[in-house]
Every structure is written in C-alpha cells, then in structure tokens.
Amino acid sequence: MITHDPIQAGFADALPAPERPLPPGLITWNGSNPSVRFDVYRNNVVVSLTEALADGFPVTRALVGERFFAAMACCFVAEHLPVSPILSDYGDALPDFIAAFPPARGLPYLPDLARLERARVKAYHAADVRAPTAQDLACHLADPQRLPAARLALHPSCTLLVSEHAIVSLWAAHQGEGRIEDVDLRRAESALVLRDGDEVLVLPLSPAIGHFFAALAAGAPLGEAAEIAAAAGPDFDLTRAIVLLIHHGGIAAWQSFGESTT
C-alpha cells in the first residue's frame, strides 16, 4: 500500500502488525475507544487478505493445512500489503516468501507449487491480444529458409515453469488426475501455463521443449532456440513444439527477418 501522506502511511503500516502502537491522532466519529475500533479494522483487513491468498493458492493451502497456511499468510501480510485495489493482483511475492519462510523449509517443492498456482491466476487475468491468423502462420511456415531467423512472442498469459520437483504431477493429483501418493516429488518437471480461450491450462513439457520455450521467451530467434533445445535433449521435436503453441493460441506475434511483427 503506497501513500505519501505521513498519517495515512502510519495507519497503513500499523494495520498488519498487532505489535505496533495505535497511529497518533486517531479518533472515532462517535467517541468510542479508537484502539478497539482499530483492532477490529485491522482484523478485518488481515482476514480479507488471508482469504484472498487462500483463494489464489488452494493446493498450497491443502498441502500445509488450514492452520499452517493461515499463520504463514498472516506473516506474509505483515510484510506485504497490497499495492493494487484488485485482490487478484495480490500474492506475487508469496512463492519467494515461502522459499525463505523457516517453518516451510521441510517442503522444498512448495515455493514452485505456489509459483504454478500464481501463474494460473495471472494467466486467467492476462490481456487479450490479436494472435496471428492461420493464414499468417501458414505464410511464415511456408518459407523454411526464413524460419531460423524468425522471432516468436508468446501470449501474455504464458508462464514457463521449470522445477526440480514434480510440481505438475502434484498439482494434477489435487485436480483428481492420478493419486498423490504416486507422485515422486524428486522428479524434475516443467510446464507451460497459458490461457486457451476461457480455460487456463497447465501443459507438461519435456526438458528439451522447456528449454526451447525459455529461449523464445528470452527473445532468441527460432533457430537459436531450437539449437539450445536440441542440446538439452536428443528427443527435441521442433515441429511438435511449434504445433503445441499454435494449437493452444500461445503465439502472440511472429516476426520474420526484415518484416514487421504479425
């Protein structure tokens, strides 16, 4: 919560921290005890933000339990008040907070699982863009000599996740896809999160395709990204990777060398 007014700043700073004193000069309209009223308001704010986090991280909450999550969320709220009035924007910093939260050190997969859940929320609310039409893509693909220099911009909803843990399988098991007890958390997994129409998808990726998408997201041309992916895994299939993006509307723009972005 950003404010340049010192009185408002003191009010905001004291909200998530019960150990902080009542802001100076605070009075109530009806003459009631301002400390009691402030405590009620403080509790309402903390509860609302905790519930917003719980709604955005349901699997994370299920894994640690209601009490643990509520306690962790309270600690998070004390350090991270919202900077936007839109509650769906709240929670970007939670995965990194979990990674540094001492009570969660025994769950090394939890920060990446939280990143996956946050990516899903952001994908749902990401901006719409006019993607290249089928005719546009057919024109680009029809000229193989120009493909290596082409640059692809991914859809704003796309987030690439690369983890040392089986976060994709763990998340899927909580959606009823497989059994949680069968998930080998020591297995590294990658995924692409994106919105296809009105549905947010979590697409498991091979390590090679994960490297390919990461290179594209970093601005590498198609040929360079394919070389990086091929070095990461001999099973890399360039056609399969591009078809995956096209099929799910993951390409926001395709720019061939010497052309404007389309």
pLDDT digits (tens, 9 = 90+) for 27-69: 666 666 666 666 666 667 788 899 999 999 999 999 999 999 9
Average pLDDT over residues 90-101: 97
β-pairing, 199-205 with 251-255?
unpaired
Q: Considering the chain, what is the average pLDDT of its residues? A: 87
Q: What is the pLDDT of residues 139-188, one digit of tens each?
A: 888 888 889 999 999 999 999 999 999 999 999 999 999 899 999 999 99
More confident residue, 86 or 164: 164
Rounded to an integer, what distance in angstroms lies between the CA atom of residue 100 and that of residue 104? 8
Ordered domains of the chain (ranges, CATH): 1-107 (no CATH), 127-262 (3.30.390)
Q: What is the pLDDT of residue 194?
A: 97
* pLDDT score recorded for residue 85: 83
- Spatial separation of the C-alpha atoms in residues 141 and 4, rounded to whole Å: 53
Q: What's the mean pLDDT in 86-95?
A: 92
pLDDT, one tens digit per residue, over 238-261 is 999 999 999 999 999 998 865 555
pLDDT of res. 72? 97
